[in-house]
Amino acid sequence: MRDKVIVTCAVTGAGDTVDKHPDIPVTPEQIARAAIEAGEAGAAIAHIHVRDPATGKPSRDIRYYREVVERIRASSSRIVINLTCGAGGRYIPDRNDPKRAADGTTITTPADRVSHVLELKPEVCSLDVATMNMGEYVFMNVPAHLREMAGLIRSVGTKPELEVFDGGHVRLANRLVEEGLIQAPPLYQIVLGVPWGMPATSESMTYMKNQIPVGAHWAAFGISRMQFPMVAQTVLLGGHVRVGLEDNLYIDKGKLTRDNAELVEKAVKIIRLLGADVLSPEDVRKELGLRGNP
């Protein structure tokens, strides 16, 4: 168990949650404000997706990322910005010709998937080390694409957060580290409960954590009702934690959370009840070897 823990807040995600909770951040202003409020509640890192302000649907428009990042950097918040690079990896085969992509496919080039990182230079961004069935589509991240993305991310001094959904993903992430594509110390994020990855259980987390190299930093989270049980399990196993409206809409059984900040506050309470404390953004920058804001 660690003495001090990083809390990440994933403030909006790309899921179809806008009609399921009244406080899902949609506009760049709302997303930036949610990140700032999460920082005030105890989060050191804000994991950020953007949405189309008119529809609430997920977006990759760099204008929205730019506005979110600029708003956070212009504020007094010192929270570490972590931009997603997961978008652009969806593949849905055409029913009659699986070699052709059906409507809803978002697959694009590695350079396109990290273009917002190259321009905005966040301190952290996600690198999803996963090709898997995710719900009813394929989330596609082949090794050649991962190597190209890792190289581009490193070229601007951003640290990739290696998102792993299953045991084989950890093995591939380890290979990227061994090849020198990931600057030390590496940061892994264990994702549990997503269909069809590893379930959100103590056994799954322990299995995946035990494959992560000595000296690496790791975090983990569970989605939906397993968010807070996995907070406790992560702390006990020596990892960092993540909460947020991207992963869970409820503060207690049957009770919608007020906002992202309330989820962070509950995570911080669990961490402190277990005898640990939370790291500040400045502590996180030192711990992870981040280069600070540009």
pLDDT tens digits, one per residue of 65-107: 999 999 999 999 999 999 999 999 999 999 999 999 999 999 9
pLDDT range class, residue 293, cuts 50, 70, 90: low
Smallest CA-to-CA distance from 224 within 248, 244, 254, 253 is with 248
Entry pTM: 0.96
Q: What is the pLDDT at residue 23?
A: 93
Q: What is the pLDDT at residue 239?
A: 98
pLDDT digits (tens, 9 = 90+) for 147-175: 999 999 999 999 999 999 999 999 999 99
More confident residue, 1 or 37: 37
Answer whether residue 292 shows pLDDT above 90. no
How far apart, in whole angstroms, are the C-alpha atoms of residue 85 and residue 114? 6
Tell me if residue 176 falls in helix, strand or coil. helix
Domain ranges of the chain: 4-288
Q: What is the mean pLDDT of the chain?
A: 97
Are 43 and 8 in contact, with CB atoms under 8 Å apart? yes
Element (H, E) at 162: strand 159-164
Answer whether residue 265 shows pLDDT above 70. yes
pLDDT range class, residue 291, cuts 50, 70, 90: confident
Query: Regarding the domain delimited by 4-288, which CATH topology (the fold level of the hierarchy) does it fall under?
Result: TIM Barrel (3.20.20)
105-137 per-residue burial string, b: 16 or more CB within 10 A, e: under 16: bbbeebeebbbbbeebbbbbbbbbbbbbebeeb
Answer whether residue 53 shows pLDDT above 70. yes
pLDDT range class, residue 134, cuts 50, 70, 90: very high
How far apart, in whole angstroms, are the C-alpha atoms of residue 186 and residue 267? 24
Answer whether residue 29 shows pLDDT above 80. yes
- What's the token pair of residue 57? 């649907």
How far apart, in whole angstroms, are the C-alpha atoms of residue 46 and residue 261? 11
Cis peptide bond upstream of 196, omega within 30:
yes
Answer whether residue 294 shows pLDDT above 90. no
pLDDT digits (tens, 9 = 90+) for 214-256: 999 999 999 999 999 999 999 999 999 999 999 999 999 999 9
- CA end-to-end span of the chain, whole Å? 33
Tell me if residue 264 falls in helix, strand or coil. helix
